[in-house]
């Protein structure tokens, strides 16, 4: 399957998927192969309630080819989060099944924390021991998690903004385009090669991989898995033991499809990405990336850039440490153009408020949970690919958020999602708290409504525990977000009809070679256009991120849909 041509379409409207560095890694791995210095595995500490799941961060040294040029030494390592049952085998090769997951655009391994834990724990309850590997792309090596790893909001802000040292380290700043030359070559070919090299290093027995590994991903991760399934890794199509399809026993797609097209992921990124028009060919795009004329990392002037993604982790710290305490993060942060513009975009009730900056987010009294909810909830953040369903504001009057699009507008872009947006109504007023997903619809719920009488939300549309989301953002050694997403990865896929990319699809039958589990968010990217021929499991009320973050027990008492489906598929991938 190749990307269809859509005449006149520009990169600004291209279909993209969403969201979104470890510290010292010294412990020797129990299953390390060969030179121990080429692999490290370290336990991950978490405040997550005991669930019988062991989490470690694994790094394997797999240097890039010399042709990539200068890059940090950390970028010659591949990393992933490994989740396994505490009662299960310590060696991955002895697990009953291994799920290997590729993240979406602007997304890192930490985003899989909830679904990975829930899947492993649920399988263990049924007597099966499976592992879940949440992959980090190579570009995540550029991130500095030192401030967030301190566990304190103020310390993190001081580290990233005030030049204060943490653990003997000083923040070097965010990398600019001129420092990212090696990313110009980090496209789909190297991305699938990285997955192959990691699998062969960790599980050298190809027969075992074909029997036990399930390959998949979230959002763009489904498309990457499609290219992986169709790839040939030894340069000889006649020998198929190395073919991507022969590294997996089945595929899984989380709010995506296993394909080599972005067509199913439309409407997922803001338009201001400064990418070239579709008419530009592969050679010209590559020349632009090599020269730096084109941005080597996908970002935007506000909201979608390394600084604002770091702020999500800092907000998560407050919600982990003191969820119900009054937040001071908005006032403790320094004022700069990016933070001010982002705050206005996210916390303005109308255009006039956005233009004047008054009232500002710092004028409202919010708990730490409410700050995080304002940044991530589908009734608050106006970008669909950043949304999760984590509850609703509480504690005072609420009003419509009619910026950047008015509630109830039939002309609302797909990019903004369909849920009505809300915002606290009284600056300098009551302390606004956060009603978690499982308290929406409770007897004490005020049942907030829009000015037109429409309820902002209801229990059937709330699925993610804000505390779990906070832990995923703040406690993971590999980030929830991807601060330096390589532009080439998405331009390669958009130029799928070019000879340079067509030649990578060596075994197109690989996409259909194994059973596939497709789990779609009922309110996600494919809402209203569910591909019934794929016989998907549909998770009602879920947003795009909820397929990764939903709580293990839903507010109707039922088990979570995605992890339950993955466990069933792992038991019998047919």
If pLDDT is split at 50, 70 and 90, which confidence band does 274 have? very low
User: Model confidence over 150-183: pLDDT tens digits?
Assistant: 999 999 999 999 999 999 999 999 999 999 999 9
Q: pLDDT per residue over 316-375, tens digit each?
A: 999 999 999 999 999 999 989 999 999 999 999 999 999 999 999 999 999 999 999 999
Distance CA(537)–CA(569), nearest Å, equals 11
Which tokens in the block code for residue 309?
């993604």
CA atoms of 28 and 56, how far apart (whole Å): 11
R_g of the chain computed on alpha carbons: 22
pLDDT digits (tens, 9 = 90+) for 295-328: 999 988 777 899 999 999 999 999 999 999 999 9
For the segment 265-274, the average pLDDT, to the nearest whole number, is 47
CA-to-CA distance for 39 and 36, rounded, in angstroms? Answer: 6
Tally: H helices and E strands in the chain? 17, 14
d(Cα 447, Cα 370) in Å, to the nearest integer?
17
pLDDT, position 135:
98
Neighbours of 180 (CB within 10 A): 21
Q: Rounded to whole angstroms, how far apart are CA atoms 486 and 142?
A: 11
For the cut 80, the answer to whether the pLDDT of residue 527 exceeds it is no
pLDDT at 413 (0 to 100): 58
Report the alpha-carbon distance of residue 541 to residue 223 in Å, rounded.
24
Contacts of 345 (CB under 8 A, 6+ apart): 302, 303, 354, 382, 404
What is the enclosing helix (H) or strand (E) of 75? none
Residue 279's pLDDT is what?
A: 54
Q: H-helix or E-strand containing 22?
A: none
Of 558, 552, 557, nearest to 119 by C-alpha is 552
pLDDT band with cut points at 50, 70 and 90 for residue 126: very high
- Walk me through the domains of the chain, giving residue ranges and CATH numbers: 11-145+179-268+503-571 (3.40.50.1820), 306-473 (no CATH)
**What are the residues whose beta carbons fall under 8 Å from the beta carbon of 277, sequence distance 6 or more?**
10, 11
Letter string b/e over residues 312-331, b meaning 16 or more CB atoms within 10 A of that residue's CB: bbbbbbbbbeebeeebebbe
14 pLDDT above the threshold of 60: no
- Which has more confidence, 24 or 317? 317
* Backbone CA torsion sign across 169, 174, 178, 180: positive
The answer to whether residue 510 scores a pLDDT higher than 70 is: yes
Q: What pLDDT, on a 0 to 100 scale, did the predictor assign at position 192?
A: 98
Quick one: DSSP state of residue 169?
B
Please, how many CA atoms are within 13 Å of residue 244, restricted to the half-sphere of its CB? 28
With b meaning 16 or more CB within 10 Å and e meaning fewer, what string describes 338-373?
Answer: ebebbbbbbbbbeeebeeeeebbbbbbbbbbbbbbb
Spatial separation of the C-alpha atoms in residues 419 and 440, rounded to whole Å? 15
What is the Cα–Cα distance from 97 to 87, expressed in whole angstroms? 15
Measure Cα distances from 292 to 285, 287, 296, 297 in Å.
Answer: 10, 8, 7, 10
Q: What percent of the chain has pLDDT over 70?
A: 90
Q: What is the pLDDT of residue 384?
A: 79
Q: In the prediction, which pLDDT does 329 show?
A: 97
Strand partners, 57: 42, 81
Angle at 70 between CA 33 and CA 101, to 5 degrees: 45
pTM > 0.85: yes or no: yes
Q: What pLDDT digit, counting tens, does each position of 362-416 carry?
A: 999 999 999 999 999 999 998 877 889 999 999 999 999 999 999 988 766 566 7
Helices (H), 479-572: 487-494, 499-502, 546-549, 561-571
| Structure tokens belonging to residue 476 | 């993971």
């Amino acid at each position: 399957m190749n990307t269809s041509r859509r005449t006149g379409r520009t990169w600004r409207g291209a279909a993209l998927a969403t969201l979104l560095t470890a510290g010292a890694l010294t412990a020797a791995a129990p299953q390390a192969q060969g030179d121990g210095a080429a692999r490290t595995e370290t336990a991950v500490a978490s405040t997550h309630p005991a669930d019988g799941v062991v989490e470690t961060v694994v790094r394997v040294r797999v240097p890039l080819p010399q042709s990539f040029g200068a890059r940090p030494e950390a970028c010659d390592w591949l990393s992933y989060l490994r989740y396994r049952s505490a009662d299960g085998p310590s060696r991955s090769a002895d697990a009953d099944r291994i799920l290997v997951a590729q993240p979406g655009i602007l997304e890192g391994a930490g985003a899989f924390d909830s679904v990975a834990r829930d899947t492993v724990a649920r399988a263990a309850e049924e007597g099966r021991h499976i592992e879940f590997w949440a992959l980090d792309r190579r570009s995540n090596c550029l991130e500095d998690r030192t401030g967030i790893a301190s566990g304190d909001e103020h310390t993190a802000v001081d580290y990233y903004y005030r030049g204060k040292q943490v653990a003997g380290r000083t923040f070097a700043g965010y990398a600019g385009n001129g420092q990212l030359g090696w990313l110009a070559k980090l496209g789909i070919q190297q991305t699938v090669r990285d997955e192959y090299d990691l699998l062969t290093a960790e599980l050298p027995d190809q027969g075992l991989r074909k029997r036990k590994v399930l390959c998949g991903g979230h959002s763009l991760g489904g498309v990457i898995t499609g290219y992986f399934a169709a790839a040939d890794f030894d340069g000889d199509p006649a020998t198929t033991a190395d073919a991507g399809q022969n590294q997996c026993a089945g595929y899984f797609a989380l709010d995506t499809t296993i394909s080599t097209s972005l067509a199913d992921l439309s409407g997922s990124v803001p338009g201001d990405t400064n990418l070239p028009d579709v008419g530009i060919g592969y050679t010209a795009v590559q020349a632009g990336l090599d020269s730096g004329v084109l941005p080597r990392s996908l970002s935007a002037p506000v909201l979608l850039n390394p600084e604002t993604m770091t702020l999500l982790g800092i907000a998560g710290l407050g919600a982990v440490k003191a969820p119900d305490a009054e937040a001071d993060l908005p006032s403790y942060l320094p004022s700069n153009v990016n933070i001010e513009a982002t705050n206005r975009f996210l916390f303005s009730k109308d255009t006039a408020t956005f233009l004047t900056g008054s009232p500002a987010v710092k004028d409202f009294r919010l708990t730490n949970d409410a700050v995080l909810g304002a940044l991530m909830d589908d009734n608050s953040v106006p970008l669909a690919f950043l949304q999760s369903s984590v509850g609703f504001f509480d504690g005072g009057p609420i009003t419509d958020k009619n910026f950047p699009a008015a509630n109830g507008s039939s002309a609302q872009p797909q990019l903004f999602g369909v849920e009505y947006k809300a915002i606290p109504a009284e600056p300098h007023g009551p302390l606004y708290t956060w009603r978690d997903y499982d308290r929406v619809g409770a007897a004490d719920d005020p049942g907030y409504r829009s000015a037109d009488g429409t309820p902002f939300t209801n229990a059937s549309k709330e699925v993610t525990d804000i505390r779990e989301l906070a832990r995923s953002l703040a406690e993971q050694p590999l980030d929830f977000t991807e601060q330096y997403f390589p532009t080439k990865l998405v331009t390669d896929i958009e130029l799928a009809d070019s000879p340079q990319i067509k030649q990578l699809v060596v075994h197109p039958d690989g996409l259909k070679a194994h059973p596939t589990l497709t789990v779609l968010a009922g309110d996600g990217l494919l809402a209203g256009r569910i591909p019934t021929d794929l016989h998907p499991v549909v998770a009602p009320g879920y947003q795009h991120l909820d397929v990764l973050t939903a709580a293990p027990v839903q507010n109707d008492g039922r088990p979570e849909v995605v992890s339950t489906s993955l466990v069933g598929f792992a038991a019998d991938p047919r």
